[in-house]
Amino acid sequence: MSTENAKVAVVSGAARGIGAAIALRLAADGLAVGVLDLDEGACAGTVDAITAAGGSAIAVGADVSDEASVDAAVTRIAEELGGPTVVINNAGITRDNLLFKMPVSEWDAVMNVHLRGAFLLTKAAQKYMVEQKWGRVVNMSSVSALGNRGQVNYSAAKAGLQGFTKTLAFELGKFGVTANAIGPGFIVTDMTKATAERVGVPFDDFVKGAAAQTPVGRVGYPEDIAHTVSFLVSEGAGFVSGQVIYVAGGPRD
């Protein structure tokens, strides 16, 4: 097959931060990108940046936790850009709290976006991968999957995505589809800024503290994650599947 005709990606949570960086990088790599987020209008900046650089992208609004919304979004991407054979499950939220104080609504909200969202988006897109006999799924996990105080919901969801990834690799491998997960370490985003505010630490101090604990001596940026996604989506990564790659400036167990 000619994979030139297959290179359409959908990136969830792509209005800003890591998702936006991934969308920009994939567009620079020559893929058409469905820039998906809860608020379609919020995707305009990412889409404009891609098109200004000569790339192809559309903004798509969808609630990744809602099956009908996801199915409609994927159908629209297929109609306007082509069947998506690259899925980046990046959409995520935090609702941090200690276990004894966490309401069920905070547990459900995080599970619905991270796990249910990744399931629904991948399920909707996999038929295009199977038809093309080629595909790439990259799921955004986190070092928090290894455990992090105050994030029992987020940690469980990110660990769940690792199991989801490995099972996808088994089920879809015979169709030329790989599935991998990335576990970012400390990345400078609005989410980490919000965490700093929650714990009452100035963000500059928060960053310096994180850098001091990182073997490479710095924190990460969205582009660090985008580079890794670019590799995993490439033709050259076709023998890499079912892996969890921690992009964290040092080893993780």
Which of the four pLDDT bands, split at 50, 70 and 90, describes residue 5?
low
Strands laid side by side in the 86-89 sheet: 57-61, 32-37, 8-12, 86-89, 135-140, 177-184, 244-247
- Residue 154 annotated in active site: yes
Q: DSSP 3-state assignment of 33?
A: strand
Residues 85 and 204 in one domain: no
- CATH number for position 140: 3.40.50.720
Is the pLDDT higher at 67 or at 191?
67
Mean pLDDT of 118-124: 99
pLDDT range class, residue 205, cuts 50, 70, 90: very high
CB-based burial of residue 199 (10 Å sphere; 0-12 exposed, 13-18 middle, 19+ buried)? Answer: exposed
**Please, which residues have CB within 8 angstroms of residue 235's CB and are 6 or more apart in sequence?**
3
* Mean pLDDT, residues 103-120: 98
Is residue 109 in a domain? Answer: yes
pLDDT tier, 253 (very low <50, low <70, confident <90, very high otherwise):
confident
Q: Report pLDDT digits (tens) over 16-49.
A: 999 999 999 999 999 999 999 999 999 999 999 9
The answer to whether position 2 is within a domain reads no
Do residues 203 and 230 both lie within one domain? no
Residues 92 and 199 in one domain: no
> Domain count of the chain?
2
pLDDT tens per residue, range 140-167: 999 999 999 999 999 999 999 999 999 9
Q: Phi first, then psi: what are they for 186, rounded to 5°?
A: -75, 115
List 128, 154, 221, 246, catalytic entry: 154
The mean pLDDT value for 109-138 works out to 98
Q: What is the mean pLDDT of the chain?
A: 96
Same domain, 123 and 214: no
For residues 86-107, average pLDDT: 97
The percentage of the chain sitting over the pLDDT mark of 70, rounded to a whole number, equals: 98
Q: In whole angstroms, what is the distance from residue 10 CA to residue 72 CA?
A: 13
Q: Is residue 198 part of a domain?
A: yes
Q: Specify whether 101 is located in the same domain as 193.
A: no
Is residue 207 in some structural domain?
yes
Secondary structure element (H or E) that encloses residue 10, with its range: strand 8-12
Q: Which residue's structure tokens are 């276990």?
A: 99
Domain that holds residue 144: 8-185+221-246
Q: Which residue type, as a one-letter code, is found at position 56?
A: S
Query: Which of these, 171, 160, 122, lies nearest to 152 by C-alpha position?
Result: 160
Q: Looking at the whole model, is its pTM more than 0.75?
A: yes
Residue 236 shares a structural domain with residue 132: yes
Residue 40 and residue 66 in contact, taking contact as beta carbons nearer than 8 Å: no
Assigned domain for 1 exists:
no
Res. 6: pLDDT tops 60: no
pLDDT in tens, 207-224: 999 999 999 999 999 999
Query: Same domain, yes or no, for 151 and 87?
Result: yes
